[in-house]
Structure 1
């Protein structure tokens, strides 16, 4: 990662700032540099968008699991079908 003082950063730096921003670890200037970079870089905008979607899925997966009774019933049906073969 370059330590230049300019406001323009490489895609690698922008992705690093995006990751830090996702976890609320980016400094004010890193956020500014990231947002300037996102203005002109389509690939990094896509990376940032996908990063946000992934974070949202991880925080709220909306996964529905079966209860213990249904799980045991399914195991029994599988055992029964396996023994029939």
Structure 2
């Protein structure tokens, strides 16, 4: 039997903190979240946000945000190199 969904009332910061700190996979969840940020920020920077349609947020603002987060990730973790398979 399916249970009813309840609305989570935690803040975004509390929610992300829970994802990063309380996973059955331990610290690997932090790697996952940082990798997701890195990939999405890079995707926005590369696409120059041309293909995005975020209601209420101008494309230029979304692009600038992607650039900002990408720069912060680069400053903290350095250049990311992928392994080609």
Q: Same-fold call, TM > 0.5?
A: no
What TM-score comes out, normalization by structure 1 length? 0.28
Tell which has more relative contact order, 1 or 2 (C-alpha 8 A, sep 6+). Answer: 1
What TM-score comes out, normalization by structure 2 length? 0.28
Q: Which structure has the highest helix share of the two?
A: 1
Largest Rg, 1 or 2: 1
